[in-house]
Structure 1
Amino acid sequence: MPVFRLDRSLQFPPVELSDKSGLLAVGGDLSLPRLLLAYKEGIFPWYGEDDPILWWSPEPRLVLFPDALHISKSLGKRLRKKDFSVTMDTDFAGVLEACSTIRTERGEETWLLPEMRRAYQKLHDAGYAHSVETRDREGQLCGGLYGVSLGRVFFGESMFARVSDASKVALVHLVQQLDAWGFDLIDCQVQTDHLISMGAVTMGRRRFLSILKESLKHPTLKGPWRPDLQPDGIHRKRA
């Protein structure tokens, strides 16, 4: 399959034309309208420091149904200990920065380059991107995640933890809150053992896009988000 080069026009090629790795297109920009269009079509940007902007639509897709969350016994115990406090949309920039720097501190390449962080900050300022912050008992940011919300779908982007289980606690808080708000799906993008252990499953692109299309018919819950639940540590499985 060819990889398409984007120009200034606000459009993407059909996602079915992605190559085997999921790469669909190269170029374009990270403007707010283009990012919103990309997510609505099941596409997301992901590239390294020496790369042009790359746009992806993987097959299969890793997703998590909110009511299929799996909480292990050890994580449930950690939740009940209340070692962390959890907030939403109180330090989006801090979560972005931490998701980027924790990788460079480990000697890994980060895709959260300055221009990418600026783009997601604009999405946050417009009410579409959200963060979950986990803080220790001293109030220090020690874990969290961020992503984009459209309709009844949350597109998870990245997470970090400086303390064991801090990112998992953030994810549990997010998933249970989204479940209470009636969200249909969390897009986890690509497969990881960590997310599979918490209930994520792979899904074909066609089914993913079908669910996304229906979910986008509902209004987007724009930010800032304020949680009205506390994680209960209950092990949930989809019926």
Structure 2
Amino acid sequence: MQIRFDGEKVIVTGAGHGIGRGIARDFAALGADVLALDVNAAGLAETQNGSEGSISTATLDVTDPAAVRETVAGFGPASILVHSAGGVRGQVGRPLEEITPEDWDAIVDVNMKGAFLMAQAVTPGMKSLGRGRIVTISSGAGIGVSLTGIQAYAAAKAGEIGLTRQLAHELGPFGITVNSIAPGFVRSNPTTERQWESYGPDGQERLVQGIFLRRTGKVEDISNMTLFLASDRAGWITGQIIQVNGGRA
């Protein structure tokens, strides 16, 4: 199944490393004009330098409404948005009573508020085009529980999933599809590597044995699904939360 994105303008958040970087590079390699966004300028430079296609970059805090609007407007009407920005912001699992409001807000804002602001900013352009694709990268934590025990992350990802469904309902009449990918355990960045190491050999073995395909995920596993959902092949798929996790009971 050949998929191309020649002439398409694509925005990818969280593109400074890991899953977002892989998605941005894959869109560019398939002909898209990609705008890669992240708070990490050095990471964005690596993403751009390793690309086989056209990637421009901009440093952006996706929780800043004015900056989001300005950045999106400067790029022009995008037909595809992938919101991959998020994560746990360096936090680790702690008892509920130890979580400060600042800890909570830091995670909820980048994962859920960021998804809302980015979708809000690209929607007028997509409506003007009469079509669009929005893909959020959520998490299995938003469907089940956070393996790291981070309450805000599980809540934010569940909220991102709810937002995806609601936007699909609202934007469908304008030819815009909105879907979410909920990855399983993907070793894609320093945070997930630290998590993997924290399990130790026995915990790592238990995790892998709980996956039907007996391996952890790769960035390309998530990128491949993203490319499909963004393509014309997925034109009648919207409001869906697709788990890409190697199979779990």
Length-normalised TM-score, structure 2: 0.28
- The higher relative CO (CA closer than 8 Å, separation ≥ 6) is in 1
